[in-house]
């Protein structure tokens, strides 16, 4: 990947942490806590947000693959059931109607 096009997640973390620290709603919410608790909260939130940005697509693909795995298994088993029904009714005479 081109060096210019690489996303700087560390820079995002710093930017989001700064935005949170300066946000009046966050300051109001955290006023009953120690300053270091607010700092830790803002840094942790920014890191989690950056991780989501960095790895979100990968986890989405993994989730889709897992969903498709179950769909493929269900289709395979449905095919087996249909084959058994076909054999029961057409080859072995099956239950008479």
Element (H, E) at 4: none
Higher pLDDT, 27 or 95: 27
**Cβ neighbours of residue 78 under 8 Å, at least 6 residues apart?**
none
pLDDT of residue 90: 82
pLDDT of residue 2: 46
Report if residue 3 sits inside a domain: no
CB 41 within 8 A of CB 16: no
Which pLDDT tens digit goes with each residue over 59-81? 899 989 888 888 999 999 999 99
Report if residue 96 sits inside a domain: no
Report if residue 80 sits inside a domain: yes
Report if residue 39 sits inside a domain: yes
Which pLDDT tens digit goes with each residue over 3-45? 445 678 889 999 999 999 999 999 999 989 999 999 999 999 9
Report if residue 2 sits inside a domain: no
pLDDT of residue 95: 60
What letter would DSSP give residue 31? T
Number of domains in the chain: 1
Report if residue 97 sits inside a domain: no
Q: What residues make up the domain containing 75?
A: 9-91
Higher pLDDT, 49 or 92: 49
Report if residue 4 sits inside a domain: no
CA distance 66 to 75: 14
């Amino acid at each position: 990947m081109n060096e210019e096009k690489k996303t700087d997640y560390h820079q995002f973390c710093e930017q989001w942490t700064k935005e949170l620290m300066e946000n009046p709603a966050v300051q109001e919410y955290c006023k009953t806590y120690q300053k270091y608790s607010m700092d830790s909260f803002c840094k942790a939130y920014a890191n989690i947000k950056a991780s989501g940005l960095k790895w979100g697509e990968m986890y989405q693909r993994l989730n889709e693959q897992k969903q498709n795995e179950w769909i493929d298994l269900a289709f395979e088993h449905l095919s087996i059931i249909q084959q058994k029904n076909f054999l029961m009714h057409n080859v072995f005479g099956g239950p008479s109607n």
